[in-house]
Structure 1
Amino acid sequence: MSAEEIQTSNNSRWSLPALLPLMGVVFASFLVIGMAIPVVPLYVSHGLGLGTFMVGLAVSCEFATALFSRIWAGHHADTRGAKRTVIIGLIMGAIAGLLYVASLSLLSMQGLSILVLLLGRGLLGAAESFVITGALSWGLATAGVQNAGKVIAWLGTALWAGFAAGAPAGTALYDDYGFISIALGTIILPLLTLLFVVPLTAKQATNRSSSALKAMTQVLGVVWLPGIGLALTAVGFGAITTFGALLFAHRDWSSAWLVFTSLSVAFILGRILFGHLPDKLGGARVALVSVLVEAFGVLLIWLAPSPTLVFIGAAFTGLGYSLVYPGFGLVAVHLASPENYGLAMGTYTAFLDLSLGLAGPSLGLVAAHTGLGSVFLVSAVVVLCATPIALYLLKTRAAVRATSQEERLDNA
Structure 2
Amino acid sequence: MSILIQEQHPQRLLLRISIAMFIAYLAIGLPLGILPLYVHQQLGLSDVLVGIAIGAQFITTLLTRSTAGRLADNHGARRTALSGMACCAASGVATLAAALMPSDSVYLAFSLLIIGRILLGVGESLLLTGNLTWGMGLAGEGLAGKVMSWNGMATYGAMAVGAPLGLALYRSQGMATTAGLMLLLPLIALLVDRGVPAVEAHAGKRQPLSTIWVRIWRPGLGLMLQGIGFSVLSVFITLYFNQFGWSYAGFALTAFGAAFIAVRLMLGNLPDKFGGIKVAQYSLLVECAGLLLICLAVNPLMALAGAALTGCGCSLIFPSLGVEVVRRVPPEARGTALGGYSAFQDLAYGVTGPLAGILSSFAGYRSVFFLAAGCAFVGMLLVKIGLQRGKNQSNYATCHQRHKKTAK
Same fold (TM over 0.5): yes
- Partner SS, residue 111 of structure 1: helix
Paired position in structure 1 for 2:104: 108
The equivalent position to 2:183 in structure 1, one of 182, 187, 192, is 187
Counterpart amino acid of 1:187?
Answer: L
Q: How far 1:139 sits from its partner (Å)?
A: 2.5
CA distance in 1, matches of 2:196, 2:226: 38
**2:367: which partner in 1?**
374
Amino acid at match of 1:117: L
Structure 1 residues 147 and 403: alpha-carbon distance in aligned structure 2, compared to 1, 3 A threshold: closer
Per-residue CA deviations over 1:372-398 (Å, capped at 9, x if unaligned) read 221111111122111321221335545
Aligned counterpart for 2:388 among listed residues 381, 387, 394:
394
* Alignment match, 2:294: 301
- 1:71 aligns to what? 66
Q: 1:250 aligns with which of 243, 248, 255?
A: 243
Q: Does 1:97 align with 2:120?
A: no
Question: Paired residue for 2:258?
Answer: 265
Which residue in 2 is equivalent to 1:164? 160
- Does 2:276 align with 1:283? yes
Q: Deviation string for 1:206-236 (max 9, x for gaps)? A: 15644322xx323212322221121112111
Q: Give CA-to-partner distance per residue, 1:76-133, whole Å, 9 cap, x none.
A: 3344444433332222222211211221215312222211101101101111222223
Contact 1:106 1:112 in 2 (8 A): no
Residue deviations 1:361-380 (CA, integer Å, cap 9, x gap): 11111111111221111111
| Percent of aligned pairs with the same amino acid | 35
Once residues 76 and 325 of structure 2 are traced to their aligned partners in structure 1, the CA distance between those partners, rounded to angstroms, is 27
Count of matched residue positions in the alignment of Structure 1 and Structure 2: 402
2: CA distance, partners of 1:138 / 1:403: 31
Which amino acid in the other structure matches residue 377 of structure 1?
Answer: F
Name the SS of the counterpart of 1:260 in structure 2.
helix
* 8 Å CA contact 2:149, 2:319 repeated in 1: no
Q: Do the aligned residues in 1 keep the contact of 2:21 with 2:151 (CA within 8 Å)?
A: yes
Secondary structure in 2 aligned to 1:386?
Answer: helix
Distance 1:298 1:201, change over 3 A: closer
Residue 56 to residue 405, structure 1, CA distance change in 2 (3 Å): same
**Matched residue SS, 1:36:** coil
Could you tell which deviates more after superposition, 167-176 or 397-406?
397-406
1:18-57 CA distance string (max 9 Å, x none) = 3232122101111111111101111111111111111111
Q: Which letter does structure 1 place at the counterpart of 2:252?
A: V
Tell which deviates more after alignment, 177-186 or 400-409.
Answer: 400-409
- Letter of the 2:103 partner, please give it: L
Alpha-carbon shift at residue 16 of structure 1 (Å) = 3.0
Partner of residue 23 from structure 1, selected from 2, 18, 23: 18
Measured against aligned partners, the alpha-carbon deviations of 1:50-69 in whole angstroms (never above 9, x if no partner) come to: 11111111111111111222
Select which of 80, 87, 94 maps to 1:85. Answer: 80
Structure 1 unaligned spans of 5+ = 1-5
The whole-number CA distance in structure 2 between the counterparts of 1:339 and 1:406 is: 25
Q: Given the alignment, which residue of 297, 306, 324 partners 1:313?
A: 306
One-letter code aligned to 2:388? L
Alignment match, 1:130: 126
343, 351, 355: which one aligns with 2:348: 355
Q: Distance in 2 between matches of 1:295 and 1:121?
A: 29
Q: Go from structure 1 to structure 2 and tell me whether the alpha carbon gap of 1:403 and 1:129 turns closer, same or farther (over 3 Å shift).
A: closer
CA distance in structure 2 between the aligned counterparts of 1:138 and 1:377, rounded to whole angstroms: 38
The alignment's TM-score, normalised by the length of structure 2, stands at 0.89
Name which structure has the greater RCO, CA cutoff 8 Å, separation 6+: 2
Q: 1:292 aligns with which of 259, 266, 285?
A: 285
Q: CA RMSD in A?
A: 2.8
TM-score, normalised with respect to structure 1: 0.88
Q: Structure 1 343/130 Cα, relative in aligned 2: closer, same or farther at 3 Å?
A: closer
The answer to whether the 8 A contact 1:138-1:202 is kept is: no
Name the CA distance, whole Å, in 2 between partners of 1:273 and 1:363. 33
- Of residues 195, 202, 209, the one that matches 1:200 is 195
Name the SS of the counterpart of 1:385 in structure 2: helix
Match of 2:148 among 149, 152, 155: 152
Q: Is the 8 A contact 2:59 2:350 kept in 1?
A: yes
